[in-house]
């Protein structure tokens, strides 16, 4: 229900405020949602039930688990390592030595 309220009211809140961070806008929307009376919230709960029924009709066997791929993980490929020459000039570029003058 809150998601439907947020979808409907976000544009109005953005127009009222000069804030552009979504976290701050979400806080304002949350406060406004909690300040609504139960009757006003009931309107959005009713819409949410209708959306849920519609979704169940359109996608009868759908489950939230369908969004996650079990057992479809990609196998990691082993990188081919090129041997590093053991010459004096080829120092490893680690953070400790990267900015220092190299001999």
* Average pLDDT by stretches of 10, the chain with 103 residues: 93 87 92 94 96 93 82 66 59 62 57
Range of the domain at 55: 2-62
Q: What is the pLDDT of residue 48?
A: 96
Q: Is residue 98 part of a domain?
A: no
Q: Is residue 25 part of a domain?
A: yes
Q: What is the pLDDT of residue 17?
A: 85
Phi, psi of 15, deg, nearest 5: -65, -35
CATH classification of the domain holding 19: 1.10.30.10
Q: What is the pLDDT of residue 8?
A: 93
Distance in angstroms (rounded) separating the CA atoms of residues 31 and 1: 15
Q: Which residue has the tokens 């939230």?
A: 64
Distance in angstroms (rounded) separating the CA atoms of residues 90 and 42: 69
Q: What is the pLDDT of residue 93?
A: 63
Q: Is residue 102 part of a domain?
A: no
Distance in angstroms (rounded) separating the CA atoms of residues 2 and 8: 10
Q: Is residue 90 part of a domain?
A: no
Q: What is the pLDDT of residue 84?
A: 58
**How many domains does the chain fold into?**
1
Q: Is residue 48 part of a domain?
A: yes
Distance in angstroms (rounded) separating the CA atoms of residues 1 and 14: 20
């Amino acid at each position: 229900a809150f998601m439907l309220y947020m979808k409907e009211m976000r544009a109005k809140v953005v127009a009222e405020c000069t804030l552009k961070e979504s976290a701050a806008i979400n806080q304002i929307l949350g406060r406004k949602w909690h300040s609504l009376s139960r009757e006003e919230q009931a309107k959005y709960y009713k819409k949410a039930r209708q959306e849920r029924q519609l979704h169940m009709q359109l996608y009868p066997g759908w489950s939230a688990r369908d969004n996650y791929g079990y057992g479809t993980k990609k196998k990691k490929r082993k990188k081919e390592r090129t041997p590093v020459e053991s010459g004096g000039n080829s120092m490893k570029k680690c953070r400790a030595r990267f900015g220092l003058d190299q001999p």
